[in-house]
């Protein structure tokens, strides 16, 4: 543990010379009252240059938030699910332009037979939810949900629009991964991504890891819990098929975190997110997750325009977010993923940067000012 003398905030970890701007931005977020517990990690040219954590992981006990603390990272999970699909494509096992039904025949029902795998990754399939309301317990049953997703009619003509598939994304892409690899998304991520890198990213949390998970806190507005900023014409469609909504902030729900919801229930930390993104653009400890051509295909823009769910401009590669005004990530050329509450991961191949951030105080801005300040500082540290 080290102390930043000027501000008296106890930091777990440190940063290399030349990356002090990231440390200062991290400390400022705490000084400004924007954090309870958080961590930030940066890789540069394949080297770990920033690895910091501070604050508390549990407000009632005062337990410290460390670099090893785990926490739910919500839709940041989507980027890791996208990575798994892109790895299968890179290895010649998955054709992103093939119809989904080639791998998952049941998916051809209700006029979906021509939907290519690519449109699952770009949120263009139109399968936003189910017509039949299901219970939270049913949502945790993979086969139950998959059968109903396969039979579901799209909400729009596939490929004609884009809208954030908040929950269905993980089932859609995840079932293709399962059909191709013979493993669930969680199993594939564990064996092909996390284990080779020595990273902590779980889609389906083992019971043994539960003691490491931080308590989450939700910011409040006017004394009432704030709501996510979905505001497009299809916003209600993405969640109203689960009744009542799962308490996604409740880290006491062992069944929730042990299940696989590959769009939303990943558990990780900043150092693991950053390491995974670093290994997506180059070798880390001898492990490179994507070849150069595959990485460039994955970050090539597939869609930019109005998001029918979020009600804002969105831009996507093959499952990855691309920079927009509301989500600048690491700037032009970067690609990444973002989760409810503030967690982020991104990489910028030309700058040779990779970034991970995880806070346990969940803010609701689409462009979380904490992450924006940290990402900007990381980019400035390499001279741009």
- Residues involved in catalysis: 75
Q: Crossing angle for the helix pair 142-151 and 168-181, nearest 10 degrees?
A: 100
Phi-psi region of 306 (alpha: psi -120 to 50; beta: other; left: phi over 0): beta
For residues 145 and 171, the answer to whether their CB atoms sit within 8 Å is yes
φ, ψ at 179 (rounded to 5°) = -65, -35
Distance CA 36, CA 57 (A): 8
Q: How far apart are CA 123 and CA 338, in angstroms?
A: 15
Distance between CA atoms of residues 356 and 345, nearest Å: 4
293: tokens are 């051509």
CA distance 309 to 234: 5
Taking the mean position of all CA atoms in its chain, how far away is CA 55? 22
Instruction: Round to whole Å and give the CA distance between 12 and 14.
Output: 7
Peptide bond into 244 cis (omega under 30): yes
Q: What are the φ/ψ torsions at residue 357 (nearest 5 degrees)? A: -145, 135
Residues 374 and 25: their CA atoms lie apart, in Å, by 6
| Nearest one of 305, 321, 322 to 313, comparing CA atoms | 305
DSSP string, 11-60: EEEEE-TT-HHHHHHHHHHHHTT--SEEEEEEEETTEEEEEEEEEEEETT
What token pair was written down for 176? 């293709």
């Amino acid at each position: 543990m080290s102390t930043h003398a000027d501000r008296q905030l106890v930091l777990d970890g440190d940063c290399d010379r030349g990356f002090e701007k990231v440390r200062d931005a991290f400390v400022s977020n705490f000084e400004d009252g924007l954090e309870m517990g958080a961590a930030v990690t940066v890789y540069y040219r394949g080297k770990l240059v920033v690895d910091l954590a501070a604050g508390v992981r549990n407000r009632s006990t005062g337990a410290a938030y460390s670099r090893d603390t785990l926490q739910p990272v919500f839709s940041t999970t989507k980027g890791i699910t996208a990575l798994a699909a892109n790895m299968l494509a890179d290895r010649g096992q998955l054709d992103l332009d093939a119809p989904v039904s080639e791998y998952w025949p049941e998916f051809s029902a209700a006029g979906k037979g021509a939907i290519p795998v690519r449109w699952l990754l770009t949120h263009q399939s139109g399968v936003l939810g189910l017509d039949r309301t299901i219970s939270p317990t049913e949502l945790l049953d993979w086969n139950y949900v998959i059968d109903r997703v396969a039979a579901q009619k799209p909400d729009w003509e596939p490929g004609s629009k884009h809208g954030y598939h908040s929950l269905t994304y993980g089932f859609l892409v995840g079932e293709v991964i399962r059909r191709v690899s013979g493993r669930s998304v969680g199993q594939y991520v564990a064996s092909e991504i996390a284990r080779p890198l020595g990273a902590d990213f779980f889609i389906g949390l083992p019971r043994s890891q539960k003691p490491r998970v931080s308590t989450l806190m939700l910011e409040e507005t006017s004394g009432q819990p704030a709501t996510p900023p979905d505001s497009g014409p299809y916003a209600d469609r993405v969640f109203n098929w689960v009744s009542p909504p799962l308490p996604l902030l409740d880290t006491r729900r062992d069944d929730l975190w042990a299940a696989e919801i590959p769009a939303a229930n990943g558990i990780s930390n900043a150092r693991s997110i950053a390491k995974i993104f670093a290994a997506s653009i180059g070798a880390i400890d001898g492990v490179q997750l994507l070849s150069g051509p595959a990485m460039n295909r994955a970050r090539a823009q597939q869609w930019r325009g109005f998001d029918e769910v979020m009600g804002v401009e969105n831009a996507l590669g093959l499952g990855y977010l691309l920079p927009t005004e509301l989500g600048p990530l690491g700037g032009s050329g970067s690609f990444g993923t973002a989760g409810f509450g503030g967690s982020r991961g991104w990489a910028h191949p030309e700058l040779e940067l990779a970034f991970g951030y995880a806070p346990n105080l969940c803010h609701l801005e689409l462009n979380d000012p904490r992450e924006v300040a940290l990402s900007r500082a990381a980019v400035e540290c390499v001279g741009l």
